[in-house]
């Protein structure tokens, strides 16, 4: 699908073909958007424009990094939109010249549709500089990052509060899912930050006022990167706290088992001693020897429990509540 917006001094044209556009005598600027183009439409991109072959190849080959390349007659730009559900980067390519913008993307993007509607309602926002369109596209794209990032931040806070009293295993699974999502966001935000900085550092922008607008996008990205890094640090702290709680819990269990083993060790020795199958054992002949041995065993338990209590072992630690 190809959408064309072309501005003359009098009006905005929306129903032109590429051939009609190139033959029109009084076009101030135009924007052509290739959305999920067919093979025939891809050939139009290759044949009807004087773009550098390497730029066209990068445009048609998905998986490029966010970048700005400078050619003699145009600039080539690659940036990332965000898939909100899967948190995957949606690649957008753009060719920018003195009086044109040509965008190419496979996925349907709300940001592109919103900017197109914005330009159709008020064509004067472009002011005969195609970088105004690029600014609007990047600004709307970056603004779409905020809700997802805030949602991840809220999810981490929910895990920290654990208002639903979920188990540690459930919390850890959710935490690792969030950390994976934050890693995906990092693969989008960091390249976009570098891209905006490169745009401001080149001679592509003709006016200082444009630099200020792009600097606003750059500030938004820095803010989001700080939020992302803070969320990653908090998630790491929560993970380490969970691991510490789990370690304390295991230590408490092992300590309890050790106490029980220490108490039952002499009892096991006595029971094993008198359980041997020798023919003559003098202690077995007494009428009250069973009760005597049983009393000794109970006494040993009492003495050991008292000794452990005096040494403070029973006050060692309570197992953490999960």
The pLDDT tens digits for 253-268 are 788 888 888 888 888 8
Residue 280: CB atoms within 10 Å: 6
The stretch 261-278 carries a mean pLDDT of 82
The pLDDT tens digits for 185-216 are 888 888 989 988 888 888 777 676 778 888 89
If pLDDT is split at 50, 70 and 90, which confidence band does 316 have?
A: low
Which pLDDT score, from 0 to 100, does residue 322 have?
A: 40
Which pLDDT score, from 0 to 100, does residue 72 have?
A: 82
What is the DSSP secondary structure assignment for residue 130, as one 8-state letter? T
Which pLDDT score, from 0 to 100, does residue 59 have?
A: 85
* Strand 100-105 relative to strand 29-35, pairing: parallel
**Torsion on CA atoms 171, 176, 181, 187, rounded to nearest 10:** 150
What is the DSSP secondary structure assignment for residue 73, as one 8-state letter? S
Residue 319, pLDDT > 60, answer no
If pLDDT is split at 50, 70 and 90, which confidence band does 149 have?
A: confident
**Cα 115 from Cα 3, distance rounded (Å):** 12
Nearest residue to 2 via CA among 140, 105, 123: 105
**Cα 99 from Cα 189, distance rounded (Å):** 29
The stretch 20-29 carries a mean pLDDT of 76
Mean residue pLDDT across the chain: 81
SS (H, E, C) 264-289: HHHHHHHHHHCCCCCCCCHHHHCCCH
Asked whether the beta carbons of 281 and 274 are under 8 A apart, the reply is: yes
Of residues 174 and 322, the one with the higher pLDDT is 174
Which pLDDT score, from 0 to 100, does residue 219 have?
A: 92
Share of the chain above pLDDT 90, in %: 2
The pLDDT tens digits for 77-130 are 999 888 877 778 888 889 988 888 888 888 888 888 888 888 888 777 777 678
């Amino acid at each position: 699908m190809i959408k064309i917006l072309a501005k003359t001094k009098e009006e905005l044209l929306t129903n032109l073909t590429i051939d009609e556009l190139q033959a029109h005598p009084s076009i101030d600027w135009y924007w052509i958007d290739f959305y999920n183009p067919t093979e025939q439409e891809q050939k139009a991109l290759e044949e009807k424009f004087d773009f550098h072959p390497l730029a066209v190849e990068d445009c048609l080959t998905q998986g490029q990094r966010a970048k700005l390349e400078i050619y003699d007659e145009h600039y080539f730009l690659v940036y990332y939109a965000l898939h909100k559900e899967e948190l995957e980067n949606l690649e957008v390519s753009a060719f920018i010249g003195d009086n044109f913008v040509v965008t190419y993307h496979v996925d349907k993007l709300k940001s592109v549709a919103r900017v197109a509607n914005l330009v159709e309602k008020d064509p004067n926002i472009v002011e005969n500089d195609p970088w105004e369109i690029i600014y609007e596209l990047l600004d709307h794209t970056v603004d779409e990052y905020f809700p997802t990032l805030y949602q991840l931040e809220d999810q981490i806070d929910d895990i920290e509060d654990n208002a639903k009293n979920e188990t540690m295993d459930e919390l850890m699974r959710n935490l690792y899912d969030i950390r994976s999502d934050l890693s995906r966001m990092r693969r989008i935000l960091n390249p976009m930050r570098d891209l905006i900085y490169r745009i401001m550092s080149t001679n592509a922008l003709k006016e200082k006022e444009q630099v200020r607008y792009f600097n606003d996008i750059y500030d938004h990205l820095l803010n989001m990167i700080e939020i992302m890094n803070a969320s990653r640090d908090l998630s790491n702290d929560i993970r380490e706290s969970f691991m510490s709680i789990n370690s304390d819990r295991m230590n408490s269990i092992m300590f309890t088992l050790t106490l029980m083993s220490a108490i039952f060790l002499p009892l096991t020795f006595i029971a094993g001693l008198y359980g041997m199958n020798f023919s003559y054992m003098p202690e077995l002949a007494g009428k009250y020897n069973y009760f005597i041995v049983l009393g000794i065993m109970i006494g040993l338990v009492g003495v050991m429990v008292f000794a452990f209590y005096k040494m403070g072992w029973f006050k060692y630690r309570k197992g953490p509540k999960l």
